[in-house]
Structure 1
Amino acid sequence: MVERKKQMSRDRVSRLINWGHWFAFFNGLLAMIVGTRYLSSVGYPETWFGWGYLAVSTIGQFSFLAFIAYLICLFPLTLILPYSKILRGLAAVIATLSLCLLLYDTIVYADYGMHLSPFAFDIAWADLSALLHGTSYIVTPIAILAIELTAANFLWKRIEKIQKLNLGNKVIAFVGVCFVSSHLIHIWADAADITEITRFDDTYPLSYPATARSFMESHGIDGSSQINDEATQASNTLSYPIQPLQCQADSKSNVLMLTIDSLRADMVDAKTMPFLHQYTEQNQSFTQHYSGGNQFKTGMFSLLYGLQGSYGDARIFNNTSPLMIRSFKQAGYELGLFIPETNLNLRSAQAMFNDFTPVIAEETNGSAEADILSVGHFKQWQSAQQRPWFALVNLKAPENFDTPVGFLGIETVKADPNLKPAQKVLFNQYRQSLNFIDKQIQAIVSELPSDTLVVITGVNGKIFTSNSDEALRNLSPESVRVPLVIHWPNALASKVNYRTSHYGVVPTLMTHVLGCTNNTSDYSAGRSLLQPSKETWIYIGDSRIFAIYQQSEITVIDRHGKYRIYDENFEHRLHKKMSAPELIQVLREGRRLYNH
């Protein structure tokens, strides 16, 4: 009798486990339906292999999530409470909560571009009223619960018939093949840089696609090829600009944008850079100016596009050049680009320089020699122009602490005692490089026509290290605060002491040179430099790690939502919670062009 009861108990538990597996599979299907909402944020595939990858990835990922949820929440309850009525009710409630959480994650992802985490949840909770509209957040959970209860009872009553069909192993095999295939396809796509596939990397929650670029290359598989067909066409989910431009230039001044890699604002002094220091005093200088990033690709992106570096990964910018440059071209300007060869490969947006006629300086003998070539190329090009022109001259020597052979430079000075011995050496070598660049700036600017509008700024700042990883992660003021001086023809010298950023350069030139009357928010994250910005923050960085510069603190955030808050000088870490209102504005700005 006892054995019979044990056997009946085992059979009941076995039936409940079988039922639980099918219930989890059903919820995996529901999760796939909810998961399609993520695609409205990132855009749909445009090729058959993109759709194929997305199909197997969706099936594998959401089936896996449903099974994990079953294993953690439902399976233990099956052993503790092996009573079908209780278990079905609890399972329906758990599944409803899980699907509502997934649905809420799709809302947060659409609005902020990130999945739920303790960090994201804090922000979303503070902005709850804006995220949840109408009464759908009440009706939807009730509807889901009704579906779950119906499905739970339906499967329980028919579990024996379902088992007789012997579909279990086939379904498991199919889901397993999809899961493994999605990772294998992603390994290949990562190695071959197939953006049609890799752009979905962060789309689904808890998704960590396998990568093996070095493994593929070590086995003789070429990872450098690109798919140059319709897969690289721009996604139509991003509006840039939001409204068509209305521009009419009254007069056409020549424009020179002179950008120097790794130029710190606090190093432009009378001893190190005498010409630029004097030039700053004689023109409009911006004393509290910040780049949009701590490296070339984010700094240059913010300077030419006027958008946050988080947009730099959008596929549309592989085919869409900066609106400002296109507008100068449409206004009849000749466009010239003078740049070191390696910087062409560092740009985040592949179309960043497409509208220019490029003159590339080889770096065989170092960055300083390449800068000398660029200066010579520009002077030769400028003297031959018959029409109004816009030129971008990019100099790189300070990035590598470089000077040409035989350069005498300036005498060394005592470095900050807080610097390490190796940093003190780099400090003085950096000064030598800046002094060399100062002479190149003088060689260019002193021979320009008087009616030329000149913009001189740093692409990014500089910390004294030879460790590239350290420089990449560092978002301190030394890495991002740069000089900005603008020479307006026939204008008096002035100093702007309110805080400005690279995001304001595009609106300034579009408004005051090209005569564009659009609201600057149609095409930029910034406002004209000639008036204080209403925003109390500046976004600096890309989508992987970024900093929010506020008036009295700096918050550094990584892609997983981990953050640290520092004082305004980046010297002390502050143990406090982040201010939600400013962060909500930052995240919304990073998604604004996707929402039109």
Structure 2
Amino acid sequence: MVTSGNNYKDKVSQLISWGHWFSFFNIIAAMLLGTRYIAHSEWPESILGQLYLGLSWVGHFGFLVFGFYILVLFPASFLIPSQRLMRLFAVLVGTIGLTGLLLDTHAYESLDLHLSPLVWDLLLSGEKTDLNARWQYLFVAVPAIFLMQLILSEWLWRKLRKLTRKHVGVPIAMIFGFCFLSSHLIYIWADANLYRPVTVQRSNFPLSYPMTAKTFMEKHGWLDRQEYAKRLDAQGIAESEHIRYPMNKLAFNDQGTGQNVLIVMIDSLRSDMVNKETMPYLTAFAQQNLNYSNHYSASNENAGGVFGLFYGLPAGYINSVRSANSSPVLLDTLKRRGYQFGLFSGNGFETSIYSEAIFSSRKLAKIADETNTNSDTKAIADWKDWLDTQSNDSPWFSYIELASIENFEEDGDFAPQFEPSLSSSDSNPANIDTTQLLKNSYRNAAYYVDELLIDVFDQLVANNALDNTVVVITSNHGNEFNETGTNSWGAETNYSRYQLKVPFIMHWPGSVPAQTTRATSHLDLVPTLMESLLATTTPVTDYSSGVSLFETSPKRRWVLAGSDRDIVVLQKNTTTVVDKHGNYRVYDQDYKLKSGGKPKLSTLMQVMHELKRFYQPE
């Protein structure tokens, strides 16, 4: 029995020693495969960023493979008594691990995503695409990986005694440990200081979760959390990639039509509010002009919706644009053509994207009456005064933001056209349905804004400007009153049609009134103005993800929306939401979760391409 016990201990000791060396050489193999992530990722510009890349490359794959050894092979060394059987088990584990890593590099190169439920569904789908074809070819490498592991296993077992005498295990472990610990310490500092050359590498490698210590640093007085949040929000560059916008220099046929442009942004106005009861004047204006009745904002939040309208890009690019301080090509072109700018807002351009990107190079109009909580009337009055100063010699671009509807709960003192409303709820609150109360108050605000629009239209007519002005009336996003039954109110709570579908009405001088029912997007305004107003000959794909609204039959099977966190694909009967980790949910047209619903591979491939197209290197 004593002899048997010693034999067991010797076998386990040999297998553990062999397992260390087997893991070491698999670490080297994993690092070599890991160079595919480095080749596909943005190369750090600073020396510290490059140092972090090297340390994290060595440390992460060392920790990843050794972690699998500790969790799988080390316990198995005690449970599998036969060294041949144990080595075969290790070979299978190594083959599966390297194959999984190979597939992950393929997913990262093709979709900029690591393996996730979405990626697996895409790879295993029955659709015949280039992605699936290339993925299937990868399995040709599996026998080669298995054979390599077998050869490595046998060679290490024969050379085990010789390798053990070298006493290099501790120095090697110290190197990997130093790289792992150093990379995390660098990331802690970079995260606290929003140092982009390091933080942008957060998701380069699979299963990478760099350490942060904001709570610890805050506790010891080394970090002011509020000041950090301000810097993070202001910069928006912690994980943004460099953008190339536009992709090529713009070319033009001529100086364009020289027509004026007026955009009226009615914050938080959903599409179905444009009806004869709620907004009769805007409804009449829509009937007399171009009404795009199946139109969607680029996002369900303020910044993303406005960003998509002015840049013609999905909201996923917003942080990269803020980081690069890129102004919209539309406004830059108007400025070069000598357009005069008049910018007016009912809430003082409260959304930061205006000052940080869209109008960063232009002076924002200030609302003089700071004490007036509902200052849309002041914004329109200022616009009318400004319009009177414009000469007929120079074209102008004007933007009016109206905030009454978005602030309907705060500024609920509107004319009680629809009752009961917030202004009358004190009479008998117990008998009042809260949803109806809020919706009536919202409609009262819409009715109020509708009357304000009369002033705008009348002023254009009085100044003889309407026949020479492109007028666009739309909204940044919609507003929900829990119609989806998911306890969703307002905006930024889900991606249903109630929060994304908005009015889009355009007066184009000389055009025939028409209602367009095909799906259109905020991303389409920039191509429309650039082509039909400013006469660019540059392909739309060089500066926008949209298509011209005058395109008679665009081949559009989907509309893109979302935020810097989510990708949203709107199709005729479905809405697909994909988060930044690759998890997805498919909803029907009523925004009810579809059990077993899966996105179409070809569609997702097109969407993924569109979301990284402007990041491609020159």
Offset of 1:319 from its aligned partner? 2.6
Superposition map of 1:244-393 within 5 A: 244-248=249-253, 249-314=255-320, 318-339=324-345, 340-341=347-348, 343-345=350-352, 350-361=356-367, 365=371, 368-369=374-375, 371-386=376-391, 387-393=394-400
In structure 2, list runs of 5 or more residues that go unmatched.
Answer: 423-431
Q: Does 1:396 align with 2:417?
A: no
Offset of 1:377 from its aligned partner? 4.0
Superposition map of 1:463-542 within 5 A: 463-464=480-481, 471-530=491-550, 531-542=552-563
Seq. identity, %: 34
The structure 1 residue matched to 2:608, chosen from 558, 578, 587, is 587
Q: Cα distance 1:235–1:568, how it changes in 2: closer, same or farther (>3 A)? A: closer
CA contact (8 A) 2:576 2:599 kept: no
Offset of 1:302 from its aligned partner? 1.7
Task: Report the Cα distance in structure 2 between the residues aligned to 1:134 and 1:423, rounded to whole angstroms.
Answer: 51
Other-structure match for 2:473: 456
Report the more deviating stretch, 359-368 or 426-435: 359-368
Q: Cα distance 1:436–1:469, how it changes in 2: closer, same or farther (>3 A)? A: closer
Q: Does 1:557 align with 2:578?
A: yes
In structure 1, what residue type is equivalent to 2:245?
Answer: Y
CA contact (8 A) 1:192 1:226 kept: no
Offset of 1:144 from its aligned partner? 4.5
SS in 1 for 2:380: helix
Task: Report the Cα distance in structure 2 between the residues aligned to 1:128 and 1:40, rounded to whole angstroms.
Answer: 27
Report the more deviating stretch, 425-434 or 141-150: 141-150
Offset of 1:282 from its aligned partner? 1.7
In structure 2, what residue type is equivalent to 1:200?
Answer: Q
Q: Does 1:202 align with 2:203?
A: yes
SS in 1 for 2:105: helix
Q: Cα distance 1:175–1:478, how it changes in 2: closer, same or farther (>3 A)? A: same
SS in 2 for 1:446: helix
In structure 1, what residue type is equivalent to 2:121?
Answer: D
CA contact (8 A) 2:200 2:238 kept: no
With structure 1 as the length reference, what TM-score do the two structures score?
0.86
Q: CA offsets, 1:91-120, max 9 Å, x none? A: 344323322322221221232232212221
Offset of 1:373 from its aligned partner? 4.2
Report the more deviating stretch, 480-489 or 131-140: 131-140
Q: Cα distance 1:166–1:584, how it changes in 2: closer, same or farther (>3 A)? A: same
Q: Cα distance 1:426–1:405, how it changes in 2: closer, same or farther (>3 A)? A: closer
Q: Cα distance 1:138–1:552, how it changes in 2: closer, same or farther (>3 A)? A: closer
SS in 2 for 1:55: helix
CA contact (8 A) 1:341 1:363 kept: no
Offset of 1:587 from its aligned partner? 2.3
Task: Report the Cα distance in structure 1 between the residues aligned to 2:596 and 2:103, rounded to whole angstroms.
Answer: 27
SS in 2 for 1:399: coil
CA contact (8 A) 1:276 1:438 kept: yes
Offset of 1:461 from its aligned partner? 0.6
Q: CA offsets, 1:200-251, max 9 Å, x none? A: 333322223344546644654242557999x999955x54334432223332
Q: Cα distance 1:566–1:246, how it changes in 2: closer, same or farther (>3 A)? A: same
Q: Cα distance 1:471–1:227, how it changes in 2: closer, same or farther (>3 A)? A: closer
Superposition map of 1:129-168 within 5 A: 129-131=129-131, 132-133=133-134, 137=138, 140-141=141-142, 144-145=145-146, 147-149=148-150, 151-168=152-169
In structure 2, what residue type is equivalent to 1:514?
Answer: L
Q: Does 1:240 align with 2:245?
A: yes
Other-structure match for 1:444: 456
Other-structure match for 2:47: 48
Other-structure match for 2:447: 435
Q: CA offsets, 1:259-294, max 9 Å, x none? A: 222110111223322332222122111111111111
Task: Report the Cα distance in structure 2 between the residues aligned to 1:32 and 1:362, rounded to whole angstroms.
Answer: 61
**C-alpha RMSD of the superposition:** 3.6
Offset of 1:184 from its aligned partner? 4.5
Other-structure match for 2:121: 122
Task: Report the Cα distance in structure 1 between the residues aligned to 2:371 and 2:189, rounded to whole angstroms.
Answer: 37
Q: Cα distance 1:407–1:250, how it changes in 2: closer, same or farther (>3 A)? A: same
Offset of 1:513 from its aligned partner? 0.7
Other-structure match for 1:408: 415
Offset of 1:55 from its aligned partner? 3.2
SS in 2 for 1:585: helix
Q: Does 1:573 align with 2:574?
A: no
In structure 2, what residue type is equivalent to 1:573?
Answer: L
Offset of 1:65 from its aligned partner? 1.8
SS in 2 for 1:564: strand
In structure 1, what residue type is equivalent to 2:476?
Answer: V
CA contact (8 A) 2:291 2:506 kept: yes
Report the more deviating stretch, 485-494 or 335-344: 335-344
Superposition map of 1:2-41 within 5 A: 2-41=1-40
Other-structure match for 1:108: 107
Other-structure match for 2:429: none
Report the more deviating stretch, 213-222 or 8-17: 213-222
In structure 1, what residue type is equivalent to 2:405?
Answer: P
Superposition map of 1:412-431 within 5 A: 412=419, 421-431=433-443
Q: Cα distance 1:178–1:560, how it changes in 2: closer, same or farther (>3 A)? A: same
In structure 2, what residue type is equivalent to 1:245?
Answer: L
Q: CA offsets, 1:495-530, max 9 Å, x none? A: 112221112111111111111223322222221112
With structure 2 as the length reference, what TM-score do the two structures score?
0.83
Task: Report the Cα distance in structure 1 between the residues aligned to 2:380 and 2:507, rounded to whole angstroms.
Answer: 19
CA contact (8 A) 2:574 2:589 kept: yes
Offset of 1:56 from its aligned partner? 3.4
SS in 1 for 2:374: helix
Offset of 1:445 from its aligned partner? 3.5
**Count, aligned residues:** 586
Task: Report the Cα distance in structure 2 between the residues aligned to 1:320 and 1:385, rounded to whole angstroms.
Answer: 28
SS in 1 for 2:536: coil
SS in 2 for 1:514: coil
Report the more deviating stretch, 264-273 or 143-152: 143-152
Task: Report the Cα distance in structure 1 between the residues aligned to 2:181 and 2:576, rounded to whole angstroms.
Answer: 38
Task: Report the Cα distance in structure 2 between the residues aligned to 1:367 and 1:112, rounded to whole angstroms.
Answer: 47
Task: Report the Cα distance in structure 2 between the residues aligned to 1:488 and 1:583, rounded to whole angstroms.
Answer: 35
CA contact (8 A) 1:304 1:506 kept: yes
Q: Cα distance 1:295–1:32, how it changes in 2: closer, same or farther (>3 A)? A: same
Offset of 1:459 from its aligned partner? 0.7
Other-structure match for 1:62: 61
